[in-house]
Each structure stands twice: as C-alpha cells, then as structure tokens.
Amino acid sequence: MTKPRATPASTPTASLDEFMDRGRQLACQGGRGVPIKNYRPFSDFVLSKMVNKAELINGQALLPTDGEPVVVIASHGPNIAWVPLAALVGKFFYDSGYGDIVGGFFPHKAVFLVPGFKDYYKRVLGAPTDIHTVEAIVDLLKNHEVGVTGTAPEGANCLLAL
C-alpha cells in the first residue's frame, strides 16, 4: 500500500531543498535535465499558440511534496500530442513555486534521427540525451538528480511508435 501524498500547504519546504540544491548544480550540465522554470518560454509559446483550453485535474498530485521524485505517466495520441501536456505540467510546476526542481524527459530515440534534434533537446530543453537505459533513468531519480520526469507512451497511430 502506498502512502498518501502530502498537499503543498502541509509540506515543509525542507523536502524541496535537496531538489533545489541539486538543480543548481545541474543547471549548466547539458543533456542531464534543467530547472523547470527554464521551460517557461516553451510552455508559454505552446499554451498560447497550440492550445485553446487546458486543465489539470488534481495537479497537486504531480508535485514532489514528499521529497521524492515524481514520474508522470500519461498516454497521448499521434505525433507531438505530448507537447501541450509537457507545457501544461511545466507551467503548473513553476506557477506552484516548484520551478527550481530539475526536470528531465526522455524522448523516443527515433526523435534524435532528425538532424539537429539531439543537440536542440540537449541544449535548449535539457533532455537527458546522455541517458540510454531505464537503469540510468532510475539512477537519476534515486540520486535526486532529476526531481520530475515523465513518459507518454505513444498511441497506436503515432509515427514514433516503432
């Protein structure tokens, strides 16, 4: 049985310190994750240009209020349908005061077959392009080097479902 997650109002700020401290150390290391607040231009662009309406139900469940990393698992449809979800979650994090927590996401390896995408993901989005195994992802989470990540298994019609 899993323990219930704490709510932000009842959470001591000390539980976030380990993520925030680690975030400052990782902010300059491309390809290993970036503070969520750095996604703000991405989130703002996506939510203003690509999305008419978006809502998170029980968004507090996404926050690492117990001092443990969070893994968001969400299904999506074809192509880049995950993009608005990532933007919405990022916005919720920094609007809720969790912008210093390091986030990382792990794109399907086929994404990096597009010339320039690997460098872009590493340089701009901080995607952990240096991580190649599930064990390596788990290690980043266990060591609190990444405080939040997510996976969005592709739908049946997705071009990236190989």
pLDDT in tens, the chain (162 residues): 444 444 444 444 545 565 555 444 434 455 667 788 888 888 899 899 988 888 888 888 888 877 788 888 776 666 677 788 888 988 998 898 888 888 877 776 777 788 988 887 777 666 666 677 778 888 888 888 888 887 766 655 444 433
For the chain, the domains span: 16-50+70-151
Nearest to 83, CA basis, from 35, 129, 49: 49
Nearest to 102, CA basis, from 4, 11, 24, 14: 24
pTM of the model: 0.68
User: CB of 75 within 8 A of CB of 153?
Assistant: yes
